[in-house]
Amino acid sequence: MPEYFHGYAVVGLVAVVGAVFVAVAFTAGRLLRPVVPTPEKLMVYECGVDPVGEGWAHTQVRYYLYAFLYVIFAVDAIFLFPWATVFAGEGFGGTTLVEMFVFLGFLSVGLLYAYKKGVLTWT
């Protein structure tokens, strides 16, 4: 069983090293860059055209909801196939079964949220 969790420890260590690397890079950039604000630098820039009107744009929320649904089903499909191969291995049956039910519980919460928002109704 310790070898099984060793893989998770390696992934966790890589995630921590990556987060530290990003934090150090942002901190170094903040410390090393020159700070000389001028009105031209603080003005909104869009394709070389002077900005006119408000900076807020209206977007359709339904596109984000479709993307949310896609992520739910894509992650589900990506995770289920490797899980099926590990589940068949020796000594991993109970542990992987519990992990899969936890994962499916998270996906069910996302799907329930989408259902409550009315995304699953045909219009």
Per-residue HEC secondary structure of the chain comes to CHHHHHHHHHHHHHHHHHHHHHHHHHHHHHHHCCCCCCHHHHCCCECCECCCCCCCCCCCHHHHHHHHHHHHHHHHHHHHHHHHHHHCCCCCHHHHHHHHHHHHHHHHHHHHHHHHCCCCCCC
- Confidence bin at 14 (pLDDT 50/70/90): very high
Q: Say whether pLDDT at 106 is over 80.
A: yes
Per-residue pLDDT tens digits for 43-71 = 776 666 666 666 676 767 667 777 877 88
